[in-house]
Structure formats: structure tokens, C-alpha cells
Structure 1
Amino acid sequence: MAMASPANKKKPKSNQTPESQFSYNLNFYSKSKDLHSAISLYDTAISQNTRLNQHNFNTLLYLCSISLNEPSTKDLSLQYGFRVFDHMVSNGIKPNEASITAVARLAAAKGDGDYAFDLVKNIGVYNELPRLRTYDPALFCYCENLEGDKAYEVEEHMGRMGVGLEEGEIAALLKVSVETRREDRVYGYLQKLRKMVRCVREETAKVIEHWFGIFEGNGVELDVGLVREAVSRNGGGWHGLGWIGKEKWVVRRGSVNAGGKCCCCGEQLVSVDIDDDETERFAESVAGLAMEREVKANFSEFQNWLEKHANYEAIMDGANIGLYQQNFAEGGFSISQVVDVHLN
């Protein structure tokens, strides 16, 4: 990597302190992604006892972490990255989430997923909260090393911290589950993809194809009635019963036409509703909003009435029906519209 030429830098203001001069030069090297010059600058600052602040340390850590993919700078990144972090902590400067993420990436580059995960688990010591990018180094490191149980532990920790998975993380967990033949986990991650990802990437599709190419179905015998009931309970999109049927899978790629018909198998796609659990959460959310905003209407009494009259399948909102399409000069509450809906 070529070192930045001092001639290309703007001249700093005169009478700068050593700290401000260091920050100025470091920011320049950071923008040009010049790790070698930044490290040289850092060594000089240490020899001159220049005081560094959190931003300075984070800039150095960031430069080290983004230089890991270059063979010419990887060793230097690892050598100085941990040294900078230790220097930061020993000087009593609190690392933030960005600091932890950068060092976690360095640890993962060494293949040390445990160190990367420990950083995340202990981030609360610095009164910081982890983000998805903070977990990624440990998660991907474990997955690449086929350490499935440790990868699942990272996922569980993410869940407890309220950090959700995205396609890249699900695909990595799916791949390690495929490679270690964890059938239950594979099924679970396939369902997460179904719920969370509208269209998978090519890399994810290859993992899915690989699984169905090597996996021979050994599930329970097909019970059409049981499957139909489960599909209905889950909104019409899937049964959630696990692997059903035996023998090998037939794996083919297909496309769906504008009418929702699969051009490969000829099946017609159907609309999927929310499942029972999602319906319950939605109802609780609506009820909470209603009781918060409509105190005088006493929504809880209405809920009790509905429970006592559970035989009703639908409740008509007379006010909305009567005022439907009545927003014109002569419009008003239409009793006839309410009667029409009631009779029909």
C-alpha cells in the first residue's frame, strides 16, 4: 500500500498542540485508508507521550479492521489492532460499541470466535449496547469453523438483547446446520427465511439446494387432515410440523408467473395470513391502543361483551358504515347503508 504524500495534505494551522496535530494527520490517513502511515504516526505519538482521545483510538481500530482483507496489511492490522485496544483500556478510556466491533473483527480474523463473543457479552461493563454488526464477527467465525453450538449460543444472546437476524446471519446459521446435519435447526432457519426474507440471495439459495440434495426425508407419514389443519392454523402458508414424508427430495429451480402459478410444479400460490400467535399479539396491540386513546369509550367492557357473545363471527361498525362515501355537500349519516349491510 502506497504511503500518502505529505505534499497532498492541506497545511495545518500554525501553533497547533501535539494532540491536535496528531488528530489532523490521523484523520487524513484514515480518509485515504493509509494504515502504514497511521501506524507510523501512532508510534511517533507514543514515543513523544502524546495524549490520545477516544476518537483517535477508534480511528486507529477502524483502520486496522478494514485493512484485514488486504494480504499486505493483515498481519500489521492484527499486530497493532490489539496493541491499540490494550493501550486504550490501560489509559482509562472507555471503549464504545464501535471500538468493541472493530476488535471483535480482529479477533474473528485470527479465528478466535470466543474472544470476539466475550467482547460482546461484556459490553455492558462499558454501558454500551451491542448491535447486529457487533455480533457478526463471532457468529460468522463460529459458523465458518463449523462450531454450531457456539453459533446458536450467539443467536440466543442476540435474542435476549433484542437484536434481530437478517438474511446473512440466517444463511450462515443455516449453512453450519446443513454441514453438521442438524435437521431440526435446518428446518427452523428455513422457516425464519420464509418469514423474514422476501427473496433470498444466490448464496443462500445454493445452501438450501445443497441441503435438499443431500437430505433424505425421514419424517412422519403424511396425514392430509393433520397437515390441512396445521396450515390453516398458521395462516395458510406452512404447516410447522417439521419434516413430513420419506424418500429423497426432487430439487429444481422454477419461477412464478404473474398469476401466482409455479411454472415448475404447476401449483398455485395462495395468500398467507398471519398465524394464531401473530393474531393474538395484533389483537393485544389494538386493544392496548384503544384503551389508551379511548378511555371514555370503556373498551374493556366491550371486550367482556365480546367474550360473552363469542358466537358472533363479525362486528359491524355502524358509524363507519353509515358515513361511508358521504363526504359530499349533501352527504350525512345513511341509515339505509347500515340496513343494507345488515340484511346482506
Structure 2
Amino acid sequence: MNSQNKKKKRQKLNPEAEFRFTLDHCSKTKDLSAAISLYESSPNPTLSLNNLNSLLYICSNSLSNLETRELAIEFGFKLFDLHRSKNSSIFKPNEATLTAVARLASAKGDGDYAFELSKSVKKYALAPKLRTYGPALFCFSDNGMADKAYEVEEHIKSVGLQLEEPELAALLKVSAESGREKKVYEYLHKLRAAVRGVNGSTAEIIESWFNGEKAAMVGLVNWDEDEVKEAILTNGGGWHGLGWLGTGKWIIQRSSVASDGRCCACDQQLTCVDIDRAETEKFAQSVASLAMEREVQSNFKEFQDWIQQNSEYEAVVDGANIGLYQQNFAEGGFSVSQSSLRQLLKNCIIRAKDGH
């Protein structure tokens, strides 16, 4: 299509379609000034929810620019308040609306209002999203308001959402800066469980804590070694969960892990950490549920009961799988001779249990 045909096509747009076309361009280019001019020159200032969200999106994306920050906050709140008051009986924002305005409130330093907006998803019967709670959480964390940040976290958990690295890093930061060592310990291990590898900014927060005076002072001087060993075993051989052990200045050093599992800084061999008992139980329940769901005639429940009654066994040998072992070739099939090994192995297990 040449430029002349494109121009003819544009001329056929009605005012509403023309408004939307121009607004989309403003959104694509993140042009706040053009978006404001478009809105103010519109003969019908009452917007559809889609158009309102586009304008609020442009405002929230203009917050990082110091030249447009104040204008974005002012215009965004003006839009939201105007359309909410004009259509109070029928006004129903969606999650994108609430998230955009919460970001404006956070940029203004009003974490309380940002939190109220995020909680209002329930009022409007909307599905909550983590991004809606982020503005309030980050606002409280950045302003050193630890208790309010923890309150946001509790609400996030109450609606069934899981924190990710940015939120956990913010909570870790405010906890470290306010000297709350128990919370620091808690969020470090939440990071351990939720994130395989932290980014640079999160690593700096962790380093800042361990380089500080508070980190050198907290910790147990005397502890029960047997209790620690048992806790480590319960948690799969990793985290003991008993808090800081020992006091004194920490040695902070970034390192990497060699291909053989050694730490390149201290030359210690890293060990594999298994899932803990709670995770093991959850996994076992999931497997059992899947087995009984897929096999209608399955006697898996009876098998579970048998395992419970014979808990002295440490291993269960599946004869059918032994019979099929390495038989996946053209002439392969179920091997009775291999399957017969089941009883032999079972007898070996029984003898091992008897101490023979």
C-alpha cells in the first residue's frame, strides 16, 4: 500500500477511531505531552476504560523521567479522579487501572493510598496480581517503613500470591537498614527458596548487611550441636533454620563454583541439598494423587497402607520395571528372568534388616 492509499484510509476514520489511533501512537512513543494535548483537545473528555488505561499507562511510564514526573502524577490523578467522580455508580476499573494509579501514588510518596488501591481488587471482584501490590511495598520499603512493608507482604500472602525477587529484595533491604536481624534471616532464606540466583542489586543488599556492624553483633554464642545437626537433616542437609550461630565480623567475598562442586574462594566442597520433610510429604501426596487419578482401578491406596505397615523396609523393588530394564530394542520384551530377581533382592533387603 503506497502513502497516498494510506492517507485515504486514515481519512475514513471516525473521530473516536482517530482518537484511538493517535493515543496508540502516544503510548508506543511514551509521549506524555502529546497524550495530554490529545485529551484536552478532545470534544468528549469522558473516556472508555481502555482509553483511560492507555493514558494512565503513559503517565506511569513517564515517572522515571524527572522532567515529566510531576506532570505525569498530576495529570494521572486528575484523569482518575475525574472519571471516577463522573461515573461513580458505574465506574469499574480493572487491575491495570488500579496498578497504574498505585504507581502514581507510590511516586508521590503515598504508600497508604497505593496499598488501598491494591486491596480494592477485592471490592471490584478482580483477580489480584503481584504487580498491583508492588508500588505500596516498594514505597514503604524505600521510606524505611518496615512494619507497613510487612503488612503488605501479609496481605499478598493472604490472597494466595508468591513474592518474587524484587519484592523479597525490598523487604530484605528495609529489614537490614532497620537492624531487624530476625527478618533479615527470614528474607535471606525466602530468597534461597524462591530464587536460584540473585541479581546484582540484590547481592549488594546482602553484602551491605554482612559488612555492617549489626551483622557482626547478632548471633548465638552457645548452641546445641546435636539440635543443629538434626535441623539440618530435617531440612534436607542445608538450612538449619535456627538463626545466626556465632558472632564476629563476617568475611565477604564473591566467588564462583568449579565444575566439580568446589567453592573457588574457600576451596570447600559443596554438598547436594535434598528437599526437606515438608516438601517430601507434599511431593508424595502429589504422586499419590496423580496415580489414583490416572488409574481408576488402581490399588495404590492399598499399596500406601502396606508401606505404612511395613515401614522397616528402606527400598521397594518394582519387578515389572526390572523385567523391562534395557529391553527397549526391536526384539526386546518383558524378561521373566530379570523379573525373577525381585524375590532375590527382597530377600537381600530382609537379611540386611536382620543384620545378616
The answer, yes or no, to whether TM exceeds 0.5 is yes
2:163 aligned with 1:165: yes
Change in 2 beyond 3 A, CA 1:10/1:138: farther
Cross-structure match for 1:33 = 30
Runs of 4+ with >6 A deviation: none
What is the Cα deviation at residue 335 of structure 1?
Answer: 3.0
Contact preservation (8 Å) 2:138, 2:167: yes
CA separation of 1:338 and 1:15: change in aligned 2, threshold 3 A: closer
* CA distance, structure 1, for counterparts of residue 297 and residue 68 of structure 2: 68
Q: TM-score, normalised by structure 1?
A: 0.91
* CA displacement, residues 150-204 of structure 1 (integer Å, 9 cap, x when unaligned): 1111111111222211111111110100001111110011111112222212211
Q: Deviations over 1:210-231 (max 9, x none)?
A: 2112212322524332222211
Deviation at 1:234, TM superposition (A): 0.6
Letter in 2 for 1:115: Y
Counterpart contact for 1:19–1:51, Cα < 8 Å: no
Q: 1:38 to 1:301 in 2, by over 3 A?
A: same
Residue 64 in structure 1 maps to residue 64 in structure 2: no
Name the structure 1 match of 2:339.
338
Residues of 1 paired with 2:25 and 2:229: CA distance? 64
**Aligned position for 1:267:** 268
Which string of whole-angstrom CA distances, capped at 9 and with x for unpartnered residues, describes residues 214-270 of structure 1?
A: 212322524332222211111112211111122332222222211111122222101
Q: Quote the residue 2:354 is aligned against.
A: none
The residue aligned with 1:107 is 105
Q: How many residues align?
A: 334
Partner Cα distance (1:63, 1:204) in 2? 28
Aligned to 2:78: 83
Q: Which sections of structure 2, spanning at least 5 residues, go unmatched?
A: 1-5, 349-356
**Unpaired segments of 5 or more residues in structure 1?**
1-8
Name the aligned partner's letter for residue 32 of structure 1. T
Counterpart position of 1:23: 20
- Work out the CA distance in 2 between the residues paired with 1:130 and 1:218: 38
**What TM-score, normalized to structure 2?**
0.88
Counterparts of 1:166 and 1:55 in 2: how far apart (Å)? 29
- 1: distance between equivalents of 2:221 and 2:295? 50
Q: Give the 3-state SS of the residue equivalent to 1:72 in structure 2.
A: coil
CA distance in 2 between partners of 1:10 and 1:59 (Å): 25
Separation in structure 2 between the aligned mates of residue 245 and residue 336 of structure 1, nearest angstrom: 58
Cα root mean square deviation, aligned: 1.9
1:53 equivalent among 35, 40, 48? 48
- The equivalent of 2:220 in structure 1 is 219
- Quick one: distance in 2 between partners of 1:185 and 1:340? 54
Tell me whether 174-183 or 292-301 shows the greater mean CA deviation.
292-301
CA distance in structure 2 between the aligned counterparts of 1:329 and 1:36, rounded to whole angstroms = 71
Find the counterpart in structure 1 of residue 205 from structure 2: 207
Alpha-carbon spacing, 1:13–1:93, altered in 2? closer, same or farther (3 Å): farther
Amino acid at match of 1:136: G
Aligned partner letter, 2:30: K
Q: Distance in 1 between the 2:96 and 2:8 partners?
A: 30
Q: Secondary structure at the match of 1:255?
A: coil
Task: Tell me the amino acid that sits aligned with residue 84 of structure 1.
Answer: L
Query: Which segment is superposed worse, 292-301 or 99-108?
Result: 292-301
Q: Which amino acid in the other structure matches residue 299 of structure 1? A: F
Letter in 2 for 1:120: S
Between 19-28 and 36-45, report the one with greater CA deviation: 19-28
Distance change >3 Å, CA 220–CA 278, structure 1 → 2: farther
Instruction: Map 1:272-311 onto structure 2 (within 5 A).
Output: 272-311=273-312
**Which residue of structure 1 lines up, in the alignment, with residue 240 of structure 2?**
239
